[in-house]
């Protein structure tokens, strides 16, 4: 276990906001975590972080305890001729988990290559890309709460939806994910229908999880800025889901608008498209800017505070609302 006072979080938030935590604790096991959170010395507020790739700190000092998991095991819990079940520690880097599966020719998670962050946060956020979401592979989620009670959430208990799980609810505030269990297929199956994935695979002699991983990494690198170079948190906004009537009204004036049907009556519209059409792609607002290759991403050009980022976000949201009548909401979690 590592415990530090007045700990700089620059390395722990991909936006590159210069923030210090009053206390930072990294634990190595569930037993250590239980002892810590049920102990007399532990007091709220606390913030449990993963890779800090979806966080925006508003202030330059966090007056509480930041917790970080160093549970890094990947364990096979069951295997048959069709599938392998893995129990993965919350502190495993998401992309290390993907690489682990791809190396063993397990199918299902390759489209989620290069997503920043860690496995525990991946379940909380139900991360997704290129037609696959974490929920498609998760079987159960192991947790402990601040009273020290352990609970295993079944897939249904997690109430997964687009970038959502029950762990995002205020009622889950004291619940900490310790392990995530996945089922990966041993039988060849791919999801290649999204964007240019299938097209780019034509350059490869055969489709394999490794080839798909390479293609996804190439696409991501061409659109999404590297946080080590330009601070960002991936998609800053969620794609809005609107009633079909709203979608049809907008489409009359914008026939080329991209969209994804979501059931009978709802349509998901890419926020990146709405933001670009509102004139924000590549535009700066003080030290914050809308990325020039993907308008869904907000970047820290250097020295931006959380409030600079929020000022840009508010201005973008106002423009989209004025032009299209649609409210877009940040995907990124704001910390006061
Ligand atoms: N688009 C524009 N302008 C832009 C950006 C996008 O017109 O500046 C259009 C594209 O041309 C395309 C459509 O919007 O027709 C969708 O774009 P893209 O495929 O890049 O995906 P997205 O909807 O912008 C989502 C996820 C990403 C994920 C990609 C690929 C959300 C909030 N974002 O972005 O996730 O990588 O799909 O599946 O759902 C993340 O969450 O951090 C993230 C990067």
**Domain annotation for the chain: domains and CATH numbers:** 2-69 (3.30.43.10), 74-220 (3.30.465.10), 225-335 (3.90.78.10)
pLDDT in tens, 211-261: 999 999 999 999 999 999 999 999 999 999 999 999 999 999 999 999 999
| Ligand 1, pocket-test mutation among 129, 212, 267, most atoms within 8 A of CB | 129
pLDDT at 68: 98
Beta-carbon-side half-sphere exposure of residue 88 (alpha carbons within 13 Å): 30
pLDDT at 44: 73
For residue 272, report the distance from its CA to the centre of ligand 1, in Å. 6
Task: Tell the residue nearest (CA) to atom 13 of ligand 1.
Answer: 270
pLDDT at 43: 77
Our answer on whether the CB atom of 258 is closer than 6 Å to any ligand 1 atom is yes
pLDDT at 141: 99
pLDDT in tens, 280-321: 999 999 999 999 999 999 999 999 999 999 999 999 999 999
Q: What value does the mean pLDDT take over residues 50-79? A: 97
Are 290 and 283 in contact, with CB atoms under 8 Å apart? Answer: yes
pLDDT at 263: 87
Our answer on whether the CB atom of 239 is closer than 6 Å to any ligand 1 atom is yes
Q: Which residues pair with 183 in a beta bridge?
A: 85
Q: How far is CA 36 from CA 64, 89, 118, in A?
A: 14, 18, 21
Spatial CA neighbour of 290 closest among 271, 303, 269 = 271
Beta-carbon-side half-sphere exposure of residue 192 (alpha carbons within 13 Å): 17
- Using 50, 70 and 90 to split pLDDT, how confident is the model at 42? confident
pLDDT in tens, 134-165: 999 999 999 999 999 999 999 999 999 999 99
Spatial CA neighbour of 313 closest among 292, 325, 296 = 296
- Proportion of the chain above pLDDT 90, given as a percent: 96
Token pair belonging to 281: 């792609």
Active site residues: 163, 235, 331
């Amino acid at each position: 276990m590592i415990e530090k006072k007045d700990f700089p979080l620059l390395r722990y938030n991909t936006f590159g906001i210069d923030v210090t935590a009053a206390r930072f604790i990294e634990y190595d096991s569930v037993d250590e975590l239980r002892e810590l959170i049920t102990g007399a010395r532990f007091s709220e507020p606390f913030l449990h972080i993963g890779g800090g790739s979806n966080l925006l700190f508003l202030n330059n000092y966090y007056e509480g305890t930041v917790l970080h998991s160093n549970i890094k095991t990947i364990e096979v819990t069951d295997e048959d001729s069709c599938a392998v079940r893995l129990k993965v520690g919350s502190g495993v880097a998401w992309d290390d988990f993907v690489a682990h599966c791809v190396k063993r020719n397990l199918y299902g998670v390759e489209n989620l290559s290069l997503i920043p962050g860690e496995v525990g946060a991946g379940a909380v956020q139900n991360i997704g890309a290129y037609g696959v979401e974490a929920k498609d592979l998760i079987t159960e989620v192991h947790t402990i709460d601040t009273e020290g009670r352990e609970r295993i959430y079944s897939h249904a208990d997690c109430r997964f939806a687009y970038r959502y799980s029950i762990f995002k609810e205020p009622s889950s505030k004291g619940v900490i994910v310790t392990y995530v269990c996945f089922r990966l297929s041993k039988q060849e199956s791919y999801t290649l229908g999204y964007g240019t994935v299938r097209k780019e695979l034509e350059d490869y002699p055969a489709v394999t999880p490794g080839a798909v991983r390479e293609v996804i990494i190439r696409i991501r690198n061409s659109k999404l800025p590297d946080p080590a170079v330009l601070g960002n948190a991936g998609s800053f906004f969620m794609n809005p889901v609107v009633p079909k009537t709203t979608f049809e009204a907008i489409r009359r004036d914008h026939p080329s608008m991209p969209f994804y049907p979501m059931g009978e009556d709802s349509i998901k519209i890419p926020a990146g498209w709405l933001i670009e059409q509102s004139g924000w792609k590549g535009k700066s607002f003080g030290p914050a800017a809308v990325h020039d290759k993907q308008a869904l991403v907000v970047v820290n050009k250097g020295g931006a505070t959380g409030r600079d980022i929020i000022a840009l976000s508010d201005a973008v949201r106002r423009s989209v609302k004025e032009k299209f009548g649609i409210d877009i909401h940040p995907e990124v979690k704001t910390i006061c």
